[in-house]
Structure 1
């Protein structure tokens, strides 16, 4: 009976029940609710502003640990909505609704002045009202459109007009329409982001889900076509079919490209595909191609999971550190794909539970999430990625943890996982 000896796994080798998952999410919620106030204060003296009747250049959002209008917080708003739906706890949904409502009111008050004088107008959310990059608009717009689809009682019309039009019409693109960085700088030159005509894999998420959601929002099928083309054009240039993972950056016109397989960028890519498939009509001619690309990426990611459940900062370099935010994104996207039938529950369910248990172990008693890589540009050498710092103040991990927990709750409600011949695996429908 040696095979039955107790094994000392570093993380739980089992499926958490919904109550256990929610306990982890509750810690994250309590921390974020306390540390991201939805309140205006005077820039001059810090006193609270209870109500604004007109635009006031002295009004600012009360500082917290994180910004309410960052792309990371677009993911967090979506994560709160998902957690509310999965747990039935209205506090999560209310978190997003209260902040969206504040942003909608600030848009109503300040947008006319920002439109009239973009360079000099003051506004608490100016980076959103006058976006200059997908980071300013794309993920936030996704959260607005997701909330609108859920019937949230906020008037999103002005905000979606700002962010939706920027993503679909104004962001720089290559000649074939692929979203890119490093376009004209407005002064006769070219932006170095970091080089002209550069693709960042991150932008598959920063722009493409919003493009697909705009198809549903407007009823215009051209946005569905655009979203599919983005996925396929990014993948043609940046996906390594032998490894099943993506490079982080690509520069149009270069003969060779540095294959740095950064984990979080791969997370943004697979997350983009599950979000596109969520709204893309199954009858669309590109649906099967996006689903096939998702499956190819999932297979690649599965082959690189570490023994204790996380993935490495550079996915295919096991001497790079284990990173939390990417692992949480994979857990979410793979669980969503299992729940929607894109991936086999038998193969992916065990690894998703393993990943979630490892991610959950990174949530400390205060609700902070440890092991998150800070914001990261694109580089052509491994040292840059190996030595990026980690911090509990890196906003990139909080939304993915909420999303992952919510989707794991749904998956484990639908399917039963447990020990079978001492191995953890699928055991049938519930």
Structure 2
């Protein structure tokens, strides 16, 4: 999986010229087979590269989790057991026979990023009934019971980032938290799950644009935090992508008559409106820093674009968003296929222009400015882009099917 040594895909009807060979390629506006084919080709490339070790140094944390979440959707869409077997193999490298989580996981670090792969643990428990997955999920649930919170009740992002909530953290914890509550009959948890979204949106939303700032510091001690609001200074694309995906995935689980569900739906629709306004009119994509398209150094970024397409398409399919937003998803997906996909000699694909990292604080200190976000390296086939690309491709295949129904 290389960054710059593969030839870019150029559409000519429904084929491309790549390395002297004609190879099939999907168009964004075509049907199920083509969008799903791209997801399968991305899965093939990544599964080959990460056949044993990887991604992300093979740690039990969110990069592994979001990548496997993409593989899971390809499995669900195709029914091919090789994808399930691959997920199980990857998770079993970390979940031991006695249910303990080996390697890097340490509950007392209270790192919200490490919860995310628990979604795959729960899926494996439901599919296999193997008690080791229940034990591992219980460990992650124990972390959430003990996890430090800001005064309003939101989870800290990490113990090393005290008094802080980041948009990222909602994707890392809430879908697992809600699914665990549903599976093991903790009905009172749904109120806490919903409240986490509401708190973060209230503390991070810009009332002029409707966009969400990346982070919130309750203590106001961080150099990146506004002394009045506690907000970080920029609208980072992938941070909003994490939040948008988190809320549409969690709405699948929150009971339909829960008193806070309507509030979550309103937040989802507000985000959809805000992101439509900053979608690039030419490409259909979104920028690394969302509200500064013309500022020198900004670039169209692929992981956020895939996350937004996934969230719009799924939101429409599940009824969380009005049908008009499918057009936004289509425009975004067309831009993804035209700008971010390159072919490989063996028929796979690479996914390019992924912001490799984005955070706040730490060492060296990340101040959350525009200059910071554009300074981080740009990668190919980073799991934070590969997973969402498979996810949005599967969703677009479903969208094509629904449009064909009489």
SS in 2 for 1:283: coil
User: CA separation in 2, counterparts of 1:298 and 1:305?
Assistant: 11
| Alpha-carbon distance change, 340 to 148 in structure 1, aligned in 2, over 3 angstroms | farther
Deviation for aligned residue 1:144: 2.0
For 1:322-337, what aligned pairs fall within 5 Å after superposition?
Answer: 322-337=300-315
Question: Is the radius of gyration larger for structure 1 or structure 2?
Answer: 1
- Are residues 130 and 75 of structure 1, via their aligned partners in 2, closer, same or farther at CA, if it must alter by over 3 Å? same
1:95-145 residue CA offsets vs partner (Å, 9 max, x unmatched): 2133234433x2528x3xx8xxxxxxxxxx322254624355221012222
Separation (CA, whole Å) in 1 of partners of 2:108 and 2:30: 41
Q: Is 2:337 the counterpart of 1:360?
A: yes
SS state at 1:221 partner: coil
The alignment partner of 2:165 has SS state of strand
| Aligned residue in 1 for 2:173 | 207
Q: 2-side partners of 1:147 and 1:63: how far apart?
A: 19
Q: Matched residue of 1:364: which SS?
A: strand
* 1:205-228 superposed Cα distances (whole Å, 9 cap, x missing partner): 111222211211221122101101
2: CA distance between counterparts of 1:180 and 1:387?
26
The answer for the alignment partner of 2:292 in structure 1 is 317
CA–CA distance in structure 1, aligned partners of residues 373 and 76 of structure 2: 36
Aligned to 1:128, what secondary structure does the other structure show? Answer: coil
Aligned residue among 29, 45, 55 for 1:31? 45
**TM-score, normalised via structure 2 length:** 0.82
Q: 2:234 aligns with which of 237, 260, 265?
A: 260
TM-score (norm 1): 0.77
Task: Figure out how many residues of one structure are paired with residues of the other and give that number.
Answer: 359
Aligned to 2:358: 376
Q: Indicate the residue corresponding to 1:90 in structure 2.
A: 81
CA shift digits 1:140-190 (9 cap, x unpaired): 0122224445x3455411210122221x2122211221112465xxxxxxx
Q: Which residue of 2 aligns with 1:169?
A: 145
1:303 to partner: Cα distance: 1.3
Higher relative contact order (CA 8 A, sep 6+): 2
CA distance in 2, matches of 1:63, 1:313: 25
State the alpha-carbon separation in 1 of the partners of residues 46 and 59 from structure 2.
Answer: 11
On the 8 A contact 1:65/1:393 being kept in 2, the answer is: no
Q: Does 1:415 align with 2:403?
A: yes
3-state SS of 2:104 partner? helix
Distance 1:30 1:383 in 2: 36
CA deviation profile, 1:325-369 (whole Å, cap 9, x unmatched): 011111111111111111122x11122112122223423223321
- RMSD over aligned CA atoms reads 2.5
| Matching residue of 1:197 | 163
> Structure 1 residue aligned with 2:137, among 157, 160, 167?
160
Please show how residues 278-289 of structure 1 align to structure 2 within 5 Å.
Answer: 278-289=252-263
Gaps of 5+ in 2: 1-24, 220-226, 361-366
Deviation at 1:414? Answer: 0.8
Provide the residue aligned with 1:420 in structure 2.
Answer: none
